[in-house]
Amino acid sequence: MNEDKNIKIIFNIVKSANAKAWIVGGAIRDYLINQEIYDIDFVINIDISLFLENISKKNIKINSTNIYYKTISIILNNKEYHITSFRKDLISFGRSALVDFTNTLYEDAKRRDFTINALYLDEKGNLIDPFGGYKDIIDKKLRFIGDPINRIEEDHLRILRFCRFCGTFPVFDIDQNLKEKIIKKANKISILSNMRIRNELHKILMVTNFELCLSMLVTLELDKYILNKINKSNKINKHTGFKTKDFKIVNYIKTYGLNIINSEKLDLISIVMPHLYNLENFDKIIKRFELNKRKIKFLNFIKQLKNNELIVNQNTMKKFTSNEIELYVLKLIWKYRCKINKVNKGFFMKDRIPFNWYKFGLLHVFPIEIIKLIDLFNLKWPTLTLTRKKIQNLQDNTYLKNIDDLIFKAEDFWVNNDFNSSPENILTFLESYLVKEIRYDN
């Protein structure tokens, strides 16, 4: 936080409005546990409307979309900082609350979820800690402020937040009585908006020890309600929950695949959810996480791959060298390409399905023990040096066959000869193939 020069600017802006500000919550928590700080939030001791009025003549970029909740944002150097009045809840709805201004820090702290998030830092660096959150951070202890069920009733997202913070502040022996009470509230997350569910699940997946978070989701039976949004009749249905309690594949994807996920304009949600839930839940995944067209296309590709699953002899593969496994995998990808894209036209690298998608698809085919034997995400499709023009010349001499069909035949020959065929070998094969076709046609 010391490196962010905008912090001092905000403190000065607040002082110019005859108010006092404190940094609050997550930024302090993450600083104390040496985690990267993404957002820095402030609270002020005057009503947000009066604050806006007092700074209205200043040249400050402000986002006041959420002023109803007593919060605005100040944008400085393309970074957004939330500024919120001290607040108290008047009425809670489980997914939002009717709030009002309060003039005491303690009242504001009482409405927060966990002690570790109820920390306040003033301009001089003095820490205000109403509920012992600093000690809980040092002791890696996760405690609700006040009664846990009351906190959850105020905002059902807090059940998921509890699971998220379990990754950093492990809860290995949750009180049985509390566990049973939370399980009874698990279905309440169905009332939460798609955006809040998606954002929280993404944060959970990004936690270093995310396995602890997912395990707590299972323990509290939240995995059985994540995909369901409450319907018009207010009926909440369970689904099957996670199909696995082993999250090794997810860890592999996080460790090695994030760069490819970003380059393919996908996200962890669209990649990971098919591993956590069965195929019959694909439509629910798409709706609950509001996936865009590209991510839906990816999920449909995974579905096709699973529907066209090929027999793989894993025992034989275990005897292979890493180079032999890579060759086997590349040839297997080609076979999947031929089954899924039955039109089989053009060069594979210009196919409608990106090569990288097949890598993620293979995570549904092979166990993680096989995958770890190769450098899957750095695997590249070998370069076929034969050009389209040379195949075009061959076609022009025979006046037979669509050029894309010939390209496919050439690449299929090359793949099945372990990618070792020279352009001359491939052209010789195509000439022989065309001669046979001419004889057949005659």
pLDDT in tens, 286-298: 999 999 999 999 9
* Closest among 50, 48, 78 to 66, alpha carbons compared: 48
Separation of CA 193 from chain center: 17
Beta strand 127-128 with 71-76 is unpaired
Task: Please report which confidence band the pLDDT of residue 101 belongs to, taking 50, 70 and 90 as the band edges.
Answer: confident
pLDDT (tens digit per residue) in 372-390? 888 999 999 999 888 888 8
Task: Please report which confidence band the pLDDT of residue 341 belongs to, taking 50, 70 and 90 as the band edges.
Answer: confident
* Closest among 180, 115, 162, 169 to 143, alpha carbons compared: 115
CB 23 within 8 A of CB 121: yes
DSSP 139: T
List of residues 6+ apart from 359 with CB closer than 8 A? 257, 260, 376, 377, 379
List Cβ<8 Å contacts ≥24 apart for 351-356.
353/301, 354/264, 355/381, 356/260, 356/263, 356/264
CB 42 within 8 A of CB 10: yes
pLDDT at 171 over 90: no
Report d(CA 253, CA 78) in Å as an integer: 31
Q: Is 350 exposed, middle or buried (0-12, 13-18, 19+ CB in 10 A)?
A: exposed
Q: The tokens of 228 are what?
A: 């369901």
* Closest among 9, 14, 155 to 83, alpha carbons compared: 14
pLDDT at 94 over 80: no
Report d(CA 266, CA 310) in Å as an integer: 25
* Angle (nearest 5°) at CA 29 between 154 and 210: 80
Parts of the chain belonging to CATH 3.30.460.10: 1-139
| For the chain, the helix, strand and coil percentages under 3-state DSSP, each to the nearest 5 | 55, 10, 35
How much is the mean pLDDT over the chain?
Answer: 89
Q: Percent of the chain scored above 70 by pLDDT?
A: 93
Average pLDDT over residues 163-188: 91
Place of tokens 């990816």: 298
Average pLDDT over residues 133-140: 95
pLDDT at 67 over 50: yes
pLDDT at 369 over 60: yes
Helix axes 157-165 and 176-185, enclosed angle (nearest 10) = 140
Least confident of 95-99, 166-170, 321-325, 365-369: 95-99
Q: Percent of the chain scored above 90 by pLDDT?
A: 65
CB 60 within 8 A of CB 80: no
Other C-beta atoms lying within 10 Å of the C-beta of residue 373: 17
pLDDT (tens digit per residue) in 217-275? 999 999 999 998 876 556 667 778 999 888 999 999 999 999 999 999 999 999 999 99
Task: Please report which confidence band the pLDDT of residue 442 belongs to, taking 50, 70 and 90 as the band edges.
Answer: very low
Place of tokens 């009503």: 47
Whole-number pLDDT of residue 397: 67
Q: The tokens of 329 are what?
A: 């995998």
Least confident of 46-55, 75-84, 317-326: 317-326
**Full DSSP string of 130-187:** TT-HHHHHHTT---BSS-HHHHHHHBTHHHHHHHHHTTTS--SS--HHHHHHHHHHGG
Whole-number pLDDT of residue 245: 87
Q: Give the CATH H-level superfamily of domain 1-139.
A: Beta Polymerase, domain 2 (3.30.460.10)
